[in-house]
Structure 1
Amino acid sequence: MTETPARRPEASSGLTGPILVGVMPGQQPVVVEHAAQMAVAAGLPLVCAYADVTVYPVDGTTGGPSAPIDPDGVDDRTQDVPQALRTALEAQLADFSVDWSTVLLAGEPSHALAREAESIGASMIVVGTREHTLTAAFKDVAAGSVARHLCHRQRRPVLVVPVNPRVPDDDDDD
């Protein structure tokens, strides 16, 4: 009896669409850095998506028409990612050899990211965990986390990057 050799994985990662990363002002750089590392390793572009929760998609599509939730509170915002966020992304991605772009999304972040991932054929979605603060804990209890919603409500892989992980010094689960 002869054995057939085990099939070796192809050199390609099997990923074909861009890596989509959820970004927001003040976010820890580790999230974008991990997403950039994945994109570089796979030879794919990186799409940095900012979901503006003060507007909603009128027709349910990504990049389509949107309207403010509070029409009386409308200011003269541009329909683009905030400049401070764009500047932070430029600094974070300067050392990576990756083609990257930004996109402004409308609505609740997990839904907006899932819609955008479907629209661009993303290979995966990268998001970070919440900071360890009392406010973040209340938000998690009240609304749940973006990562949790994404993991349960769409079919693409989701990479959740720990931000500020709390690992006890006496953690001996080896």
Structure 2
Amino acid sequence: MTRSAPHAWHGVPTPDGPAVVVGVIPGQSAAVVQEAARLARAMSAGLVCVWSDAARTFVARDPDGTLVTTPLDPDHVDDREDEVAAEVELAAEVERVLEGSDVPWRFVYTVGEASRELARLGQESGAAMIVIGSRRPGLGGWMNHLIGGSTAGHLAHTQPLPVTIVPQEHP
């Protein structure tokens, strides 16, 4: 099992009002987070950057907010260093993208199906909207869409918040 402590807010002041929730994934175009930050700034809102790790499942949440997870694959060796490194690396990438931004933001690591987790965190944070990137270009993005469906489509049909789709930059 792996434990993931909650990440603190960056920037001042910590927002009291609505938030913009943005889905982040490893290797995603920086344009998605940058556009979400631009929208949050225009709305005087905080930015909640969410990575929902679909390869892991929820075990428990400690009173301090620490998330306890385990791999879905029973044959996977739960190497804490690798799991924590992936989370820390993505959080650091988000921090690099938002460096110099005047928008208060925080990184949230969660597990499970992305559209469900984005909708849940949107509701919990009183979000004004959810921002996600379009599917990746090419065969890999098409296959992910074919197998898992569209996160945007799932969100648009299952919860009341507006969904903004940001095109990923094409190479």
Q: Say yes or no: TM over 0.5.
A: yes
Secondary structure of 2:80's aligned partner = coil
Task: Return the offset for 1:84.
Answer: 2.0
Q: Which runs of 4+ in 1 moved over 3 A?
A: 62-67, 77-81
Whole-Å Cα distance in 2 between the matches of residues 79 and 102 of structure 1? 14
Q: Find the partner of 1:67 among 62, 66, 70.
A: 70
Alignment of 1:1-174 (within 5 A): 16-58=17-59, 65-73=68-76, 74-77=78-81, 82-164=87-169
The residue type equivalent to 2:127 in the other structure is: A
Higher strand share: 2
Task: Out of 68-77 and 153-162, give the one that drifted further.
Answer: 68-77
Aligned residue pair count:
149
Unaligned residue ranges in structure 2 (runs of 5+)? 1-16
Task: Return the offset for 1:17.
Answer: 1.5
Relative to structure 1, the CA distance from residue 67 to residue 142 in structure 2 (aligned partners, 3 Å threshold; closer, same or farther) is same
Secondary structure of 1:82's aligned partner = helix
Secondary structure of 1:96's aligned partner = coil
Q: Contact 1:114 / 1:154 at 8 angstroms: preserved in 2? A: yes
Whole-Å Cα distance in 1 between the matches of residues 55 and 94 of structure 2? 22
Q: Give the aligned partner of residue 10 of structure 2.
A: none
Per-residue Cα deviation, 1:21-47 (whole angstroms, up to 9, x for no partner): 000111001100010001111111111
Whole-Å Cα distance in 2 between the matches of residues 118 and 109 of structure 1? 14
| Percent identity between the two aligned chains | 36
Whole-Å Cα distance in 1 between the matches of residues 84 and 169 of structure 2? 31
Task: Give TM-score, length-normalised by structure 1.
Answer: 0.76
Whole-Å Cα distance in 2 between the matches of residues 41 and 114 of structure 1? 22
Per-residue Cα deviation, 1:28-74 (whole angstroms, up to 9, x for no partner): 01100010001111111111000111112357xx9755432124412
Relative to structure 1, the CA distance from residue 35 to residue 81 in structure 2 (aligned partners, 3 Å threshold; closer, same or farther) is farther
Q: Contact 2:21 / 2:48 at 8 angstroms: preserved in 1? A: yes
Unaligned residue ranges in structure 1 (runs of 5+)? 1-15, 166-174
Per-residue Cα deviation, 1:73-112 (whole angstroms, up to 9, x for no partner): 1221566862221221111111320111000111011111
Of structures 1 and 2, the one with the larger relative CO (CA 8 A, separation 6+) is 2
The residue type equivalent to 1:22 in the other structure is: G
